[in-house]
Amino acid sequence: VQLIESGGGTVQAGGSLRLSCVVDGRGFTMYAMAWFRQDPGKDRECVAAISWVDDFTYYQDPVKGRFTISRDNFKRTLYLQMDSLKPEDTAVYYCAATRANYAEEVVIDQTKMDYWGKGTLVTVSS
């Protein structure tokens, strides 16, 4: 199973970007997916997560109201719409998936993720 991210880039503060993550693999049933981000020298943190079947979602407080996570089950694609971007949103963003049942304490914990993408860089200039 591979997770393939796209959509990163450089944008001015206040702008928008949409990240995509395609799940490439057969016979894999996912239960939850998430977007993590990491600044150099900092721990990787979960910014948003979603269950694959139901509509459970999680958002980290700093991104609430600005980021929207969604998925297209038919296309096996996860999205992260990022609006009103701030310089502090600059980071490498990673797509992750777990076979565990969705629960907030699971999806925010990077050690519970089973699969990871390689990351895509988002840079927000002031």
Express each pLDDT in 68-84 by its tens digit. Answer: 999 988 888 999 999 99
- In whole angstroms, give the CA distance from residue 15 to residue 33: 25
- In whole angstroms, give the CA distance from residue 113 to residue 99: 8
Q: Which residues contact 70 (CB under 8 A, 6 or more apart)?
A: 50, 78, 79, 81
Q: What is the pLDDT of residue 101?
A: 84
Q: What is the pLDDT of residue 112?
A: 93
Q: 41 — alpha (psi -120 to 50), left (phi > 0) or beta?
A: left
Q: In the structure, what pLDDT confidence band is assigned to residue 100 with cuts at 50, 70 and 90?
A: confident
**Average pLDDT of the residues of the chain:** 92
CB 59 within 8 A of CB 47: yes
Q: In the structure, what pLDDT confidence band is assigned to residue 28 with cuts at 50, 70 and 90?
A: low
- In whole angstroms, give the CA distance from residue 95 to residue 116: 6
